[in-house]
Chain A
Amino acid sequence: MNKIFDYIKNSQIWRSIVRHGYPDTPRNRTLAVLSNFFLHLHPVKVRRSGIQLSYTWCMGGMTFFLFLVETITGLLLMFYYRPTAELAYEDIVALREHVPLGIMRELHRWSAHLMVITVWLHMYRVFLTGSYKPPREFNWNIGVILLVLTLLLSFTGYLLPWDQLAVWAITVGTNMARATPVLGHEGPGAALLSFGGLDFIHAGDDVRFGLLAGRFVGEGALLRFYVLHCVGIPIAAAVLMAVHFWRVRKDGGISGPL
């Protein structure tokens, strides 16, 4: 057995991928992190206090992990889901009826719930350890935006099953937009944008209309939410996550006493 392992490890293929020996010496441990694209997000050495589970709660890392789970399961779901008012509900039911032991929708849904919780707890931990203080002010702000994006990701995904729960939860949520000051047709100040009895802001052109592509949650809203859910927000979140992680490094790694 050892002979086979040795053979594999000394083959040109293996050595072209992994450029160091088994990571049990300081040199190889350093190389393991430095020469791996994914691991080089981390520094070679970290403060012992910064990796204590009771210090970090591992919530930021798990949020990222759940984002990856959502990406993979979401991609698989996209193969079977068509975002139209006639087909969306049928496709969701078909996922349950026609796929024996299928758990992709379950994984996607429960991970999404969990991701909202982990991202809140991550924020909570960062606040409680004062990790937003200089020099990490800017990264805290990126984090706040990422938290909002996580909620929006979940919110846009909520509509896609196109059942009663989905449509009415989104109706309740987007009804708020009607009341946006100045820009919503039932918001304070909207009446000011009216000239000679002609309303500039009405149910057919206010922010809610822009969000839903209609006066109520219908087919237009479904497509709009689908595109935002699968493409728009994930791209924005991915870019900001890259900045977030990079800034963690640039601001001195996982926070610790100065």
Chain B
Amino acid sequence: MGELIKQAVDWATSPTLYFLEFTLAIVLVLRFRAFFTKKSVIVAFFVLATAFFVFAFGDANFNRIVTKPDNIPIVILLATVIFFSWLSLRRGYINDERVKKGLPTVEADLGKKKVFTWPDLVYVELICMVLFTAVLIIWSIEIIAPIEEPAASARTPNPSKAPWYFLGLQELLVYFDPWLAGVVLPSFIVVGLCAIPYVDTNPKGNGYYTFNERKFAISFFWVGFLLFWISFVILGTFLRGPNWSFFGPFEYWDLHKLEPMVNVDLATYFWSGLLGQPRPADPLIREAPGIVLLLGYFLILPKLLEKPLMRVLYGGNRQHLVRFHVMMHLLLWFGLIPIKMLLRWTVNLKYIVGIPEWFFNI
């Protein structure tokens, strides 16, 4: 029985399934929030999760990776992110129900009353600080900060991982070249975050939790933050082993595990597969299909979507045209990630445009 569960978990956490399950979970939780925001649901979830951990700690492979001192924060991250996502959704749901009945939101109700900073606020702060201090001191006494062997530039450890908070980007390296995964996409994350207040013109949901009044914004952030950032950090920490191969949580990190790499460029599909002729030598002609596709994706698609989406997002107000195109452009860059992932999983696509001569591979 125990072995069967372990095998099932190893199978269910393979990158493709992992990603699809996470996506499905987000869709289900948001769709059936009336059920998922119940207190009993979160309690049941954490009880089950704890039971699973207790069971899994008996396994040497699971134990080795999860109790690594530097991985403990990632367990904390997982638990807190799940809890706070639940909490925000619950508060949003309660507010939405109140608004339906014509009542003010919880925040508006409470906010009418003002209280003195001393003692109401300073004491909350003090208690938080004391608790954090206590936790940190106990944690520091219990778990010694690890130190590995002295640095040696000749011996490369396998796997070599970036610091855990960048593992989402390292995961993108599976699908993209470093110039995209390590430079362009992270820059767009920062630019995109900065742009949020300027492209979101919805005046509602300012200063209180809600879901109904900001469906697109909150769903998008759940997908961006929970799916493409947090879940990737978890994947990179616990499920990626030597050679960045996938390993289930109960699997032994075998250095010699080989994953067949049979990825094919779009150009090969087009010239050899479709036209049955050798690939042209000139890179620009060779990659023309990919270049045309990408130009269409970035330049023509926003124009095509302009009319319907402008109506949905900005009520058709032409004043917001610049906002729309900035947001569209950022969303299209973001969309490139799942598109490339799906193409890799389904047709083993390596590059849409592959010009290694110029380090220009997409």
Contact = CB atoms under 8 A, between A and B. Distances in A.
B67 to A, nearest CB: 15
B315 interface: no
A75 interface: no
B152 interface: yes
Contacts of A148: 190
A155 B205 CA distance: 35
Interface in A62-120: 62, 65-66, 69, 85, 89, 92-93, 96, 103, 105-111, 113-114, 116-117, 120
Contacts of B190: 144, 148
B108 interface: yes
A164 B125 CA distance: 39
A129 B160 contact: no
A57 interface: yes
Q: Which of B80, B137, B221 has the most CB of A within 10 A?
A: B80
Interface string B151-185: 11101110011110110011000000111011110
A29 B163 contact: no
Contacts of A30: 116
B359 A187 contact: yes
B325 to A, nearest CB: 19
Contact of A169 (B76, B128, B162, B196): B162
A173 to B, nearest CB: 5
B276 interface: no
A45 interface: yes
B153 to A, nearest CB: 6
Contacts of B119: 23, 29
B304 interface: no
A48 B210 CA distance: 18
Contact of B84 (A121, A151, A173): A121
Contacts, number: 285
A154 B73 CA distance: 14
Q: Which of B105, B151, B170, B193 has the most CB of A within 10 A?
A: B151
A134 B190 CA distance: 19
B129 A65 contact: yes
Given A106-B144, A163-B150, A163-B151, A39 B118 contact: yes
A105 B143 CA distance: 11
Interface in A130-182: 130-134, 136-137, 140-141, 144, 147-148, 151, 154-155, 158, 161-169, 171-173, 175-181
Interface string B198-241: 10101111111110001001100100010000000000000000
A184 B179 contact: yes
Interface string A1-32: 00000000000000000000001001001101
A143 B152 CA distance: 37
B107 A54 contact: no
B281 interface: no
Contacts of B156: 168
A232 interface: no
Given A172-B162, A218-B153, A130 B129 contact: no
Nearest to B186: A176
B81 interface: yes
B143 A106 contact: yes
A48 B111 contact: yes
A124 B160 CA distance: 29
A210 to B, nearest CB: 14
A47 interface: yes
B356 to A, nearest CB: 10
Contacts of B105: 257
Contacts of A141: 194, 197
Contact of A257 (B91, B111, B221): B111
A131 B124 CA distance: 21
Given A169-B163, A255-B207, A106 B145 contact: yes
B198 A110 contact: no
B140 A103 contact: yes
B147 interface: yes
A204 interface: no
Interface in B315-329: none
Interface in B102-130: 104-122, 124-125, 128-129
14 contacts: A46-B120, A48-B112, A48-B120, A49-B107, A106-B141, A109-B145, A110-B139, A113-B73, A117-B76, A163-B149, A164-B149, A172-B170, A179-B182, A217-B151
Interface of A: 23, 26, 29-30, 32-33, 39, 42-55, 57-58, 61-62, 65-66, 69, 85, 89, 92-93, 96, 103, 105-111, 113-114, 116-117, 120-121, 123-125, 127-134, 136-137, 140-141, 144, 147-148, 151, 154-155, 158, 161-169, 171-173, 175-181, 184, 186-191, 216-218, 255-258
Interface of B: 70, 73, 76-77, 80-81, 84, 87-88, 91-92, 104-122, 124-125, 128-129, 132-133, 136-137, 139-141, 143-153, 155-157, 160-163, 165-166, 169-170, 177-179, 181-184, 190, 193-194, 196-198, 200, 202-210, 214, 217-218, 221, 225, 358-360
